[in-house]
Every structure is written in C-alpha cells, then in structure tokens.
C-alpha cells in the first residue's frame, strides 16, 4: 500500500494559525480527491490552550470564507518527530521551540517554515493574529491559503 505523507502544522497556541493551516490544507487535499495520500494534523508549542477549540475569531473569519472545521488543541511533543514527515512551523519562535526538542539532525531536517511556500515573501513569519483586529485574521487566512496551496503542489 502506498505510504501517506504525514504533515504537521505547528504554531504557539494551536488555536489560530496552525488549526487554520491544517483545515485549509485538508480542504485543498480533499478537493483534489487526495485524502488517502495524506495524514494531516496540527499542534502548539505551548500547553496554554490544550483541549480548546480554535479561536472564535479564526473560525468566524474562516466561515466568512466558506471554510468550517472542528478542532481540539494539543501540545507538540517529541514523538511528533517520528509520527510526521514534515513539521511546518509558522514563525522562527515556533522553529526554535520545536528544534529544541529534536533528538538529532534527522528530526531537525523535518522542520520547515510555512512561508517557505510563499511565492511573494519566502522565509518570513506568518504573523500571529491573536493581539490584533479582524483584518489580521483575514490576512493570515489569505496567506495560509496561498502557502498551503503551494505546499500541496510541491508534495504531489
Ligand atoms: P496561535 O496564536 O499561535 O496562532 O494559535 C496564539 C494563540 C494564543 C496566544 C498567542 C498566540 N496566547 O498568548 O494565548
């Protein structure tokens, strides 16, 4: 049987950026009938919101864009390095926190920045919308839609 590509999206709280990246990537995978080829999840580097649904502002913005999803926040842990092929972090702070848990270079090499797939500003951080207004949530939605689409094209 063909092996699934296992993709984990990671942010700080696992209630705004990474659950949305997971939902957008899943939507794009499903639209192409490729769900049998991927295992997709998300996690946060902090434990602050474990067990919570995604942020209400993230869900409301996604709904305005026609995307609904359910979610339960969980914390990233060392075992995720073996459970996933690609660990895609939203910013450099997430990268530091994830890499700090890596056992070896093989683990570190699984860590990618989401905006490595941004054709306009590769290598930048996905901004944290938590402290800002609704325009920040829309900007993150459009940015993540762009990046996850390019990621899927890359992985196909
Ligand atoms: P996320 O956003 O990392 O995209 O889920 C945040 C969520 C919560 C907090 C910070 C960022 N917080 O400080 O509680």
Catalytic residues: 11, 17, 128
Pocket lining: 130 vs ligand 1, CB cutoff 6 Å: yes
pTM above 0.85, yes or no: yes
User: Span 27-35, mean pLDDT?
Assistant: 97
pLDDT for residue 132: 87
Q: Which of 21-25, 80-84, 88-92, 119-123 has the lowest mean pLDDT?
A: 119-123
Distance 16 CA to ligand 1 centre (A): 6
User: Span 115-137, mean pLDDT?
Assistant: 93
Residue to mutate (ligand 1; options 10, 13, 58, 73; most atoms within 8 A of CB): 13
Asked if 89 and 114 count as a contact pair (C-beta separation under 8 A), the reply is yes
| Domain of residue 132, residue span | 5-155
Q: Phi and psi dihedrals of 10, rounded to 5?
A: -130, 135
Whose C-alpha lies nearest to ligand 1, atom 9? 13
Asked if 66 and 34 count as a contact pair (C-beta separation under 8 A), the reply is no
For residue 122, pLDDT over 90 is answered with: no
User: Span 66-70, mean pLDDT?
Assistant: 98
pLDDT for residue 78: 98
CB atoms within 10 A of CB 105: 7
Pocket lining: 15 vs ligand 1, CB cutoff 6 Å: yes
The CATH number of residue 75's host domain is: 3.40.50.2300
Element holding 151 (H helix, E strand): helix 134-155
Burial class (CB within 10 angstroms; exposed 0-12, middle 13-18, buried 19+) of 74: middle
Q: Band of the pLDDT at 2, cuts 50, 70, 90?
A: low
- By C-alpha distance, which of 124, 43, 87, 47 is closest to 143? 124
Give me the number of domains the chain comprises.
Answer: 1
User: Span 46-63, mean pLDDT?
Assistant: 98
* Cα–Cα dist 130/127, whole Å: 9
Asked if 63 and 3 count as a contact pair (C-beta separation under 8 A), the reply is no
* Cα–Cα dist 51/76, whole Å: 13
Q: How many CA atoms lie within 13 A of 142 on its CB side?
A: 6
């Amino acid at each position: 049987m063909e092996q699934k590509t296992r993709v984990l999206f990671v942010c700080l709280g696992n209630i705004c950026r990474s659950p949305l990246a997971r939902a957008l990537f899943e939507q794009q995978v499903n639209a192409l009938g490729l769900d049998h080829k991927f295992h997709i999840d998300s996690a946060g580097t902090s434990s602050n919101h474990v067990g919570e649904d995604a942020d209400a502002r993230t869900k409301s913005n996604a709904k305005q864009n026609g995307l609904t999803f359910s979610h339960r926040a969980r914390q990233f842990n060392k075992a995720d390095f073996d459970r996933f092929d690609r660990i895609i972090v939203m910013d450099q702070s997430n990268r530091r926190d994830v890499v700090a848990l890596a056992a070896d270079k093989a683990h570190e090499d699984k860590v990618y920045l989401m905006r490595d797939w941004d054709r306009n500003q590769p290598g930048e951080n996905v901004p944290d919308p938590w402290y800002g207004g609704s325009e920040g949530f829309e900007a993150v939605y459009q940015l993540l839609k762009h990046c996850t689409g390019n990621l899927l094209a890359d992985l196909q």
